[in-house]
Structure 1
């Protein structure tokens, strides 16, 4: 019997080995294209990007078209009622970043979510008072005017058609609409557009989803540019929604909104140069610090997701997120010590307390010596490369699923709940557990801190990777993992994006890991070191492009979501 048991165990191990290798072979093949590629969170939007590239548009044209298409086909996250960031690398070597993050309304203030001395979290997370001034439309128009080849009308027309004619709901799209049915019914516009007319019925996979009011809103933008959104009928509808539901956004807020061009933050590792969205994106500083702290260590020798590797990377994450909480905010309002934070000497000093044998305590780590809250995972990221060598990386968000849950009556789109990304009360966690400080306090016209981290990676001045992710603070670590997997462990793009991830954000003091992503013996070693392990669902959703030395383009969509790559 003992001999038979050993045989059964042996056969099971062989089966698991074969299955494991088969799975890696499956995830190892990304969509491969010779000329151009688009990767986004939704197949219709990716197809729109490909269509625009085919008709003579460049990467910026395609990115703008994808954004407007996502506003139709991914209403929980794709949007015209939120904001985001864009990183551009042109074939001539130009690197630019565009900040179209939302702003606090003019009437906003640091105590707007305090009632009787207590922070009331729901006020910054649901309802019209949670909404910041949207930046997406201005950002898309600005990027197109600066670097696009096609007209705004040409890039927005596919989205108008998708809204007017409709598209069949996927299983996941129907499920998420049904999941949020109860809260959406609290608001007239949300009920009108996103709840079945027979409220006793659920959305079903394959249902035709038409949005005629949204089509008209998009048409006004196509005809009148930014004025078609920030002034005129659409602006009137937004302000009316504010007045009806106790929000603060005014006509003056809308008319005065302006996206901002900023210089990218640059980092390097293993011969690659990263160009990352700067603050108010916190990802650029955090990723750069982590890479700098990791520089002295041989990660490849440690081995992918070994206990030694996870412990070392986790300790750098812990320190970078502690600095994030204390120092970072809107650079137009806060003096960020960026040069110091990115210096080799500072990050070497941050690792002086690192121990191979024991996890640090987040209470003891704190921020560095220089003279948290919960960001929603419902962002969306997309990447574009055209046949001329131009690349665009874009991340946008409404913050929570369906943002504030308030859809603008007569206009057909959701408003964000990005005000929750401010520090509503110092020391209080936001809806994602992140602790933040006074640098991110609410002020009129200030932009809230974000974890969105679009990035473009070059090697010898040629684009090699277009990176970014969705997932609140896990965006930062998902983007980091994706880069390290390719740059250090030489994974294929699809392997890199599919590989299990882990995440630490300083507070709460937990090491999150994807279920089955760490072996039992690895978990035991990490437990012995004092790490508090917390199994989690998918840690971020990334959409990546990799370009090899021959110029072949690989588009990889994260298997944790419904994303798709399209190209030619």
Structure 2
């Protein structure tokens, strides 16, 4: 048993910030700021702001540019969530999550023959209609103006940096990458390895983007582009039809709203699990004085892990597409959080198996990207979108040039099968025709006195929610500057497997020792890519922080 004196001693031994993580790159500005993983796409967004566009315009242009310059996750063949905070108004959410094709059955993956690399793993893409909905309701500039920069990058080619070159070489060398069109489009001519400084030209993708620019978003879901996707599906046994494409609809939804230490935290609602889970965890942690204990105190990390376990248990138990699943309203309430907080033993870890005894247990990588934007008038955008795995299902649509998602694997693919290894088979997120798969994407906007102060989010599959939690806590509870908040080591627990992942294993060895003494299993892994913006509520000065765990650039007017 660990006594308070020992915990206090440990706190005094720990550094205030971690040193092992790459330091975030920052930019400060009194005008607009764009922060994302792709430097060329950040530049596109900044040009739109300088041309008189607002933050939504810049976000749309950045997203399309990333579909060219960050093919690992930037996309028009996937889906996501965009949080928007108009000046003087409550934030809203543009939800453009993919849907299941009508032909998909609940047991699609049950026999193991359909994998994430299969055409059947692709959901109906939502990105183009989602960006169009955001632009229609909140943009200023002409649609064509926002899409053409991406088309030109693809048609004329862009310079590959060392980070992108490494990613392309890795996926092309992987024996699992078998799609001939993917290899043709993304392979370097002559079969050599990509190097920083090389030029990548994507003619087919450029044509597709030009059609979308000239004819509007519907051109992706009807006409020649829809014909190309349906042809691809028929040739390889996929499920998406032109009828699925034409029927796809993006939605504007009311965000999940939580309060924490005088801040208003807004996140995406279901079919994202992010907003609900963030609200539940913040509500739980508000019952404890984390700041007094210290950021790297064992008590703080212990409480964070226990809050994570409980939120992820409820994620498995209750969350799915709200059009198919009734989600309990109490999950985001303070009273419910107090009940959960009371179940936390301060002296030892709660075994995950004890948190949901009604769910039978069998004993048996993903790639997303996030960017943040604010304009000179204070309009804020937090956008996370994805192909699911890195480079989706590694299929390029013949003639259209874009990569398909493998989002069908975000459903609970084996109905009724929940395991201690992390498989979830509960009913709320099982496959059904036209259903949206549950997501962990968590673009968040935090307000203080009605004005945005923090714009953040991250990729990382189920780790996304906890990456965002760490950044939000670092800023709101511990008062860290945004570069430190983004760079600090992150923590993750997802109910099962019953183990916590911590980036600071090497930089905080004594903390790890004490957590193990409390009964936690601790492993180490890189987590997230949290490109964020802090807006000083007193001066209005904006600081963009590009998370350098992968790549990134922060630019300002």
Shift of residue 279, structure 1, vs aligned partner:
0.6
1:453 maps onto 2:450 in alignment: no
Match of 2:149 in 1: 158
Assess if the C-alpha contact under 8 Å between 2:366 and 2:388 holds in 1.
Answer: yes
Match of 2:205 in 1: 214
Select 2:160's aligned residue among 157, 166, 169: 169
Q: For 2:379 and 2:274, how far apart are their aligned partners in 1?
A: 23
Select 2:532's aligned residue among 531, 536, 544: 544
Matched ranges for 1:14-93 at <5 A:
27=23, 30-93=26-89
Assess if the C-alpha contact under 8 Å between 1:184 and 1:195 holds in 2.
Answer: no
1:384 maps onto 2:373 in alignment: yes
- Cα–Cα, structure 1 residues 142 and 505, in superposed 2: closer, same or farther, change >3 Å? same
Matched ranges for 1:244-263 at <5 A:
244-263=235-254
Shift of residue 445, structure 1, vs aligned partner:
0.6
**Deviation readout 1:242-287 (Å, 9 max, x if unpaired):** 1111100000000110001110110011111011111111011111
- Cα–Cα, structure 1 residues 163 and 30, in superposed 2: closer, same or farther, change >3 Å? same
Assess if the C-alpha contact under 8 Å between 1:319 and 1:367 holds in 2.
Answer: no
Shift of residue 27, structure 1, vs aligned partner:
4.3
Matched ranges for 1:138-149 at <5 A:
138-149=129-140
Matched ranges for 1:193-272 at <5 A:
193-199=185-191, 201-272=192-263
Listed as ranges, the gaps of 5+ residues in structure 1 are 1-15
Select 1:324's aligned residue among 315, 320, 326: 315
Q: For 1:254 and 1:143, how far apart are their aligned partners in 2?
A: 19
Q: For 1:550 and 1:301, how far apart are their aligned partners in 2?
A: 27
Q: For 1:539 and 1:441, how far apart are their aligned partners in 2?
A: 27
Assess if the C-alpha contact under 8 Å between 1:40 and 1:564 holds in 2.
Answer: yes
- Cα–Cα, structure 1 residues 125 and 196, in superposed 2: closer, same or farther, change >3 Å? same
- Cα–Cα, structure 1 residues 59 and 244, in superposed 2: closer, same or farther, change >3 Å? same
Shift of residue 428, structure 1, vs aligned partner:
4.1
Secondary structure of 1:123's aligned partner: coil
Match of 1:293 in 2: 284
Select 1:347's aligned residue among 337, 340, 347: 337
Q: For 2:540 and 2:434, how far apart are their aligned partners in 1?
A: 43
Shift of residue 169, structure 1, vs aligned partner:
1.0
Shift of residue 146, structure 1, vs aligned partner:
1.0
Select 2:124's aligned residue among 133, 153, 157: 133
Shift of residue 30, structure 1, vs aligned partner:
2.6
TM-score (norm 2): 0.93
> Which has the larger displacement, 171-180 or 493-502?
171-180
Secondary structure of 1:512's aligned partner: strand
Match of 1:467 in 2: 456
Q: For 2:101 and 2:296, how far apart are their aligned partners in 1?
A: 44
Assess if the C-alpha contact under 8 Å between 2:24 and 2:546 holds in 1.
Answer: no
Match of 2:101 in 1: 105
Shift of residue 454, structure 1, vs aligned partner:
0.6
Assess if the C-alpha contact under 8 Å between 2:467 and 2:530 holds in 1.
Answer: yes
Matched ranges for 1:396-545 at <5 A:
396-428=385-417, 433-516=422-505, 519-536=508-525, 538-545=526-533
Matched pairs, number: 540
- Cα–Cα, structure 1 residues 278 and 511, in superposed 2: closer, same or farther, change >3 Å? same
**Deviation readout 1:468-525 (Å, 9 max, x if unpaired):** 1111111101111101101111110000000011110100000111144552222121
Assess if the C-alpha contact under 8 Å between 1:37 and 1:50 holds in 2.
Answer: yes
Listed as ranges, the gaps of 5+ residues in structure 2 are 1-12
Match of 1:5 in 2: none
**Deviation readout 1:279-324 (Å, 9 max, x if unpaired):** 1110111110111111121101111122111111100000000000
Q: For 1:266 and 1:367, how far apart are their aligned partners in 2?
A: 29
Assess if the C-alpha contact under 8 Å between 1:28 and 1:492 holds in 2.
Answer: no
Shift of residue 211, structure 1, vs aligned partner:
0.5
Q: For 1:461 and 1:356, how far apart are their aligned partners in 2?
A: 35
Assess if the C-alpha contact under 8 Å between 2:482 and 2:533 holds in 1.
Answer: yes
Match of 1:282 in 2: 273
**Deviation readout 1:325-374 (Å, 9 max, x if unpaired):** 1100000111011x2111222222223321111100000112799xx99x
Q: CA RMSD in A?
A: 2.4
Secondary structure of 1:62's aligned partner: helix
Q: For 1:323 and 1:413, how far apart are their aligned partners in 2?
A: 36
TM-score (norm 1): 0.91
Q: For 1:24 and 1:420, how far apart are their aligned partners in 2?
A: 33
Secondary structure of 1:180's aligned partner: helix
- Cα–Cα, structure 1 residues 501 and 127, in superposed 2: closer, same or farther, change >3 Å? same
Q: For 2:247 and 2:268, how far apart are their aligned partners in 1?
A: 23
Q: For 1:278 and 1:51, how far apart are their aligned partners in 2?
A: 31
